[in-house]
Amino acid sequence: MSESSKQTRTPLIAANWKMHKIPPEAADFVSALKAAVLPLEGREVVICPSFTSLEAVRQAIQGTPFRLGAQNMHEQASGAFTGEVSASMLLAAGCRYVILGHSERRQFFGETHEWVNRKVRAALAAGLIPIFCVGEKLPEREAGQTMNVIRQQVRGGLQGFSSKEIGPLVIAYEPVWAIGTGKTATPAQAQEVHAFIRQIIVELFDASRAASLRILYGGSIKPDNIDDLMAQADIDGGLVGGASLESASFARIVSFQVSTPHVSTS
């Protein structure tokens, strides 16, 4: 994909707080973030707290361009599913985004391609924007299986959709070996997989859908590596775990700067 198509995609930085922060901590974080990064220019910011802090973040971001996201949802609209939360509940709670198929959901809660596919369908049908996650494990990378794994995950998650149906869906590439390990993929490693994902979207849908799709990188994003990652032609933002828990480090990530024009390799 060319550098010029990158210019048409608004960069998106999303905080995935995972199982951290109670409501007052969430509100304090947002106050500090507002002071540090507003007004936002040329970028979108999404905060994904735990369910119990959605309301605190919703209130704290009122009047700002920050958006609210959830970390998971159930694929059914309602019913006897103790402990689960539906798309309409998330919408009513003020969410615009929902993270789906995160590797921790796949690994610890047994989410399969088919299951993630159903969740993506339910989220889109309800009007939520999925942040659909894919990523290979270390043994898969070492065995030279990265691209096969990514192809299966992307095809599995998006199977049965038309280009129109996937709407504003966002993909996040999160190599499992880079999550919470401090071991970031190099910008070149990430770019290679991002370009590959964009090519799969060309095959599944069409070139214009691929050109407008935002693909985020996730896995040990830090203030000191975000600028180099964002300089890559096919990296359109970040899904940030650990470094999104501190307002100062997340503010620096949101304030990424791309100084040197990148020469596209794909």
Closest approach of Cβ 241 to ligand 13P, in Å? 2
Backbone angles phi, psi at 90, to 5 degrees: -65, -40
Our answer to whether residue 102 is catalytic in this structure is yes
Q: How open is the CA angle 134-75-52, to the nearest 5 degrees?
A: 85
Task: Name the catalytic one among 44, 104, 174, 194.
Answer: 174
Task: Name the catalytic one among 102, 104, 111, 194.
Answer: 102
- Contact pattern from residue 157 through residue 186 relative to ligand 13P, giving x for each residue in contact according to CB under 6 A and a dash for the rest: -----------------x----xx------
How many residues touch ligand 13P (CB under 6 A)? Answer: 14
Backbone angles phi, psi at 67, to 5 degrees: -115, 155
Closest approach of Cβ 27 to ligand 13P, in Å? 22
> How many helices (H) does the chain have, and how many strands (E)?
13, 8
Closest approach of Cβ 137 to ligand 13P, in Å? 13
H helix intervals, the chain: 3-7, 23-37, 54-60, 87-92, 103-109, 113-126, 138-142, 146-158, 163-166, 187-204, 207-212, 226-230, 247-254
Strand partners, 12: 44, 237
Start-to-end CA span in the chain (Å): 5
CB-nearer residue toward ligand 13P: 130 or 242: 242
CB-nearer residue toward ligand 13P: 1 or 73: 73
Backbone angles phi, psi at 73, to 5 degrees: -160, 165
- Contact pattern from residue 106 through residue 125 relative to ligand 13P, giving x for each residue in contact according to CB under 6 A and a dash for the rest: --------------------
- Contact pattern from residue 6 through residue 25 relative to ligand 13P, giving x for each residue in contact according to CB under 6 A and a dash for the rest: ----------x---------
CB-nearer residue toward ligand 13P: 213 or 239: 239
Q: By CB under 6 A, what part of segment 204-263 binds ligand 13P?
A: 218-221, 239-243
In the bound complex, which residue of the shown chain has the CB atom lying closest to ligand 13P?
241
Angle separating helix axes 146-158 and 187-204, nearest 10 degrees: 40
Tokens of 96: 């615009």
CB burial string 3-32: b at 16+ within 10 A, e below? eebbeebebbbbbbbbeebebeebbebbee
The answer to whether residue 50 forms part of the interface with ligand 13P (CB under 6 A) is no
Closest approach of Cβ 188 to ligand 13P, in Å? 19
Closest approach of Cβ 171 to ligand 13P, in Å? 13
By annotation, the residues acting in catalysis are: 102, 174
Binding residues for ligand 13P, rule: CB under 6 A, are 16, 102, 174, 179-180, 218-221, 239-243
